[in-house]
Structure 1
Amino acid sequence: MKGLTPDSLPAPFGAYEHGVQAGQLIVTSGQLAMSPDGRIPADVREQAEMCFENIRVILAEAGADFSHVMRFTGYVTRREDFAPYMAVRDALVRAHAVKPASTLLIVTGFTKPEFLVEVEALAMVPAAR
C-alpha cells in the first residue's frame, strides 16, 4: 500500500492518510473544506468545490483523475445543501460517459461546526500496460 497525502493539502487531523492506494484501487479519506492556512469557506458550494479539489489532488498523486472515480460519498449537515453539493459534483463528471456511483447523506456535524460538507471517493486506475 502507498499513502497519498500531498504536501499542498492541510495535514490530516489524526493518524491517517488523505488517501491510500493499493494496486489499482484508490480510497480517499473524507475531505473537508480547509485551505492549508486554515481558512474554511462559509458557503456550502465553495466548501464542496474545495473538497473535490482536494480529491483531485489526491487522485493526481496516484496518476488518476475524476474519470477513474467509481463512487463518491458526500455528507452534508442540512437538507438544503443537497442541491449546491450535487451541482458541484455533477459539473465535475458531466462529460464522463460513465458517471460514478454516488451516495449523499445528512449528518449532524463534523469536527468543526463551520464544516458543512465532506466528500470521499473510491477510484481505480487503469492497469499498467
Structure 2
Amino acid sequence: MDPKFHLFSNGPRPVAPFSHAVESDGWVMLTGQMPTDPAAPDAPLPEGIEAQTRRVMDNLSLILAELGLDMSHVLQCRCYLTEFERDYAAFNETYQGYFPKDRRPARTTIGVTALAVGALVEIDCIARRPDA
C-alpha cells in the first residue's frame, strides 16, 4: 500500500516543509505539533507550559479528527521540552488529562535546547486505525 501524505487546510500552519500526517497500512504518523493557534497562526504563543501543552494536544486532536481518529487511537508519543526540569511535572499534569488512565500511550519525553517558533513543548505521535 502506498503511503498517503495528509496536509489539512484547517490544520495548524506548518512551520517547516512537512505533512501533518503520513499514513501507511493503518499506521498514522503525526508530525510534531507546536502550540500555535490554527485560527491565528501569527498570534503570540500561549504563556506557560500548561497552556502550550493544551494547545499542542488540541492541535494533535484536530489532525486526528481530520483522519477520522481521536486520542484513543494514539499508541505512542514523543514529547520535547525546552525547560525539562522546570516544566516536567506541570507538563505531565496537563498531558495526562487527554488519555484515560487505562489507555495511556507509550511515551518518551526529551529535554531539548530549543524548538521552532520559541515553543516550550512539541509532541508527535503514532496512531493506528482500528480496522487495519
TM-score (norm 2): 0.87
Matched, 1:107 2:112: yes
Runs (4 or more) in structure 1 with deviation over 6 Å come to none
1:92 counterpart SS class: coil
Report what 2:131 is aligned to. Answer: 127
Report what 2:67 is aligned to. Answer: 62
Unaligned 5+ runs, structure 1: none
Aligned residues: 126
Q: Which amino acid aligns with 2:113?
A: T
Matched, 1:82 2:82: no
Question: Shift of the alpha carbon at 1:109?
Answer: 0.5
Report what 2:76 is aligned to. Answer: 71
Sequence identity percentage: 28
TM-score (norm 1): 0.89
Kindly indicate whether the alpha-carbon contact (under 8 Å) linking 2:12 and 2:59 is maintained by their aligned counterparts in 1: no
Determine the C-alpha separation between the residues in 2 that align with 1:111 and 1:22. 27
Matched, 1:9 2:11: yes
Determine the C-alpha separation between the residues in 1 that align with 2:10 and 2:28. 18
Question: Shift of the alpha carbon at 1:10?
Answer: 2.8
Report what 1:22 is aligned to. Answer: 24
Unaligned 5+ runs, structure 2: none
Determine the C-alpha separation between the residues in 2 that align with 1:91 and 1:13. 27
Tell me which moved more, 47-56 or 30-39.
30-39
Matched, 1:46 2:48: no
CA distance 1:67–1:10, change in 2 (3 Å): closer
Kindly indicate whether the alpha-carbon contact (under 8 Å) linking 1:75 and 1:118 is maintained by their aligned counterparts in 2: yes
1:74 counterpart SS class: strand
Tell me which moved more, 35-44 or 62-71.
35-44
Kindly indicate whether the alpha-carbon contact (under 8 Å) linking 2:15 and 2:116 is maintained by their aligned counterparts in 1: no
RMSD, matched Cα? 1.5
